[in-house]
């Protein structure tokens, strides 16, 4: 693998985004249209969708989607919109359809594969065929236990877009990991501040004194330095074995990792809505949902080897507490950032070489917005 020391990828003259990008509802609407509605967005793990009929309802770019596994084992992402008069069909966040999906308004009834199978009194309408009214579908892809959807009519195939990351992460055996903890954070800041903050550790000595003892901010290097996928690794400083409160490993290795990776933590920001953190003994990830220019919902889960969760002598809490503490420190500082960049006097500021990744993230963001 090729890793680049951060300063070598620094573009001199890089500056932060102007104020409007953090406060304007029009820009948020444009982001949803140009970025979130056209990209492969992660909606979480496939575990709640293991059995036929199991579903979750997720929102991407203001679209409510019913994600369900059909009887053949195929995943679907249906727009939560009845083909009769458009009513939102499903109100629960998750559950299991016994046989069918039924609209609560006039009882149009769909199979869990989306076909319309009953529509009361429509047989009286000339030329009406149930086959013409299946639920609308978004594109869906499953990768290593994660589920992605794409709202675009003709999206670039997931496999092609994600090829670089898939090859890179294979050794972590992500598909077999189990969810050990889940938390949702309501952050009073723009979603881009969450991405930018995740993408640099220049703030680590000041904001995360605990983390800074385990992961020296000058250590490591990046293997993705330009484009929608960015990031690399940091060294876990001996005698620490992992990024945990105690510094000790909290359970089994997640995959068959080569020696180097047993002392490294990888942090990847994956446009448009996934942050993925890989440690030797656990993985945690974040789904970043823009809610308002100054509000972001961040959903996070910690994943472990199933043996770690089954073994009472392992300590998953050690990893959970480490990141819960670190995350809250991050949300607090990005909320202060939001307040500052909302000022009429805020103007773009210079990025340092230690901030080459957030600078690259901004470049990719502007490119996707059509302003690059």
Binding site for ligand FES (CB under 6 A): 82, 84-85, 87, 103, 105-108
Which partner from the list Fe ion, ligand FES, none does 5 bind, CB cut-off 5 to 8 Å by kind? none
Query: Helix H segments across the chain?
Result: 20-23, 25-31, 158-169, 191-198, 204-207, 209-214, 306-310, 316-341, 356-368
Which partner from the list ligand FES, Fe ion, none does 366 bind, CB cut-off 5 to 8 Å by kind? none
54-60: strand order across its sheet: 41-45, 146-150, 137-143, 75-79, 63-69, 54-60, 94-96
Of 44 and 358, the one with the shorter C-beta distance to Fe ion is 358
CB of 138 to ligand FES, least distance (A): 19
Instruction: For helices 316-341 and 191-198, give the axis angle rounded to 10 degrees.
Output: 120
> 73, 88 in Cβ contact below 8 A?
no
CB of 201 to Fe ion, least distance (A): 7
Of 275 and 360, the one with the shorter C-beta distance to Fe ion is 275
3-state class percentages of the chain: helix first, strand second, coil last, to nearest 5:
30, 30, 40
Going 308 to 313 to 316 to 319, the CA torsion angle's sign is: negative
CB of 334 to Fe ion, least distance (A): 9
**Residues engaged in binding Fe ion (CB under 5 A):** 330
Of 79 and 224, the one with the shorter C-beta distance to ligand FES is 79
Angstrom distance (rounded) from CA 211 to CA 321: 12
Query: What is the number of the residue whose Cβ is closest to Fe ion?
Result: 330
Task: Give the Cα-Cα-Cα angle 308, 314, 319 (nearest 5 degrees).
Answer: 85
Phi-psi region of 114 (alpha: psi -120 to 50; beta: other; left: phi over 0): left
Of 103 and 169, the one with the shorter C-beta distance to ligand FES is 103
Which partner from the list ligand FES, Fe ion, none does 19 bind, CB cut-off 5 to 8 Å by kind? none
Which partner from the list Fe ion, ligand FES, none does 261 bind, CB cut-off 5 to 8 Å by kind? none
CB of 112 to ligand FES, least distance (A): 17
Of 150 and 329, the one with the shorter C-beta distance to Fe ion is 329
Angstrom distance (rounded) from CA 158 to CA 163: 8
Which partner from the list Fe ion, ligand FES, none does 85 bind, CB cut-off 5 to 8 Å by kind? ligand FES
CB of 84 to ligand FES, least distance (A): 3
Which partner from the list Fe ion, ligand FES, none does 87 bind, CB cut-off 5 to 8 Å by kind? ligand FES
Of 107 and 163, the one with the shorter C-beta distance to ligand FES is 107
Tokens of 73: 């084992």
> 271, 34 in Cβ contact below 8 A?
no
Count the Cβ atoms, other than its own, within 10 Å of residue 29: 13
CB of 346 to ligand FES, least distance (A): 47
Contacts of 291 by beta carbon, 8 Å cutoff, 6+ apart: 297
Of 28 and 201, the one with the shorter C-beta distance to Fe ion is 201
CB of 131 to ligand FES, least distance (A): 17
Closest Cα partner for 329 from 217, 216, 205?
A: 205
CB of 310 to ligand FES, least distance (A): 44
Which partner from the list Fe ion, ligand FES, none does 82 bind, CB cut-off 5 to 8 Å by kind? ligand FES
Which partner from the list ligand FES, Fe ion, none does 361 bind, CB cut-off 5 to 8 Å by kind? none
Of 108 and 267, the one with the shorter C-beta distance to ligand FES is 108
DSSP letters, 114-152, are S-EEE-TTGGGSTT--GGG-PPPEEEEEEETTEEEEE-S
């Amino acid at each position: 693998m090729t890793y680049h020391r951060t300063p070598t990828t620094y573009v001199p003259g890089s500056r932060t985004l102007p104020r409007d990008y953090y406060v304007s509802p029009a820009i948020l609407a444009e982001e949803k249209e140009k970025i979130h509605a056209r990209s492969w967005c992660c909606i979480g793990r496939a575990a709640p969708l293991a059995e036929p009929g199991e579903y979750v309802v997720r929102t991407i770019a203001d679209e409510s989607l019913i994600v369900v596994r059909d009887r053949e084992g195929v995943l679907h992402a249906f727009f939560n919109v009845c083909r009769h008069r458009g009513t939102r069909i499903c109100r629960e966040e998750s559950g299991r359809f016994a046989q069918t999906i039924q609209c609560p308004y006039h009882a149009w009834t769909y199979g869990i594969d989306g076909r319309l199978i009953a529509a009361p009194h429509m047989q009286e309408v000339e030329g009406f065929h149930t086959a013409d009214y299946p639920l609308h579908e978004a594109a869906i892809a499953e990768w290593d236990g994660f589920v992605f959807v794409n709202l675009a009519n003709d999206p670039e195939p997931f496999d092609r877009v994600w090829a670089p990351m898939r090859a890179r992460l294979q050794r972590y055996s992500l598909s077999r990991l189990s969810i050990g903890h889940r938390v949702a954070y309501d952050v009073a800041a723009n979603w881009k501040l969450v991405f930018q903050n995740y993408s640099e550790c220049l703030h680590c000595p000041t904001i995360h004194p605990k983390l800074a003892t385990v992961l020296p901010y000058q250590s490591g290097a990046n293997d993705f330095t330009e484009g929608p996928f960015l990031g690399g690794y940091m060294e876990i400083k001996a005698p620490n074995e992992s990024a945990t409160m105690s510094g000790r490993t909290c359970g089994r290795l997640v995959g068959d990792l080569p020696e180097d990776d047993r002392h490294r933590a990888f942090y990847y920001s994956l446009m448009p809505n996934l942050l993925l953190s890989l440690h030797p003994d656990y993985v945690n990830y974040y789904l970043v949902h823009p809610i308002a220019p100054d509000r972001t919902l961040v959903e996070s889960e910690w994943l472990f080897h199933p043996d770690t969760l089954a073994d009472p002598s392992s300590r998953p809490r050690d990893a959970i507490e480490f990141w819960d503490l670190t995350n809250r420190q991050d949300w607090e500082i990005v909320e202060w950032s939001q307040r500052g960049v909302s000022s009429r006097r805020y103007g773009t500021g210079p990025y340092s070489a230690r901030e080459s990744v957030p600078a690259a993230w901004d470049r990719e963001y502007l490119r996707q917005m059509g302003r690059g």
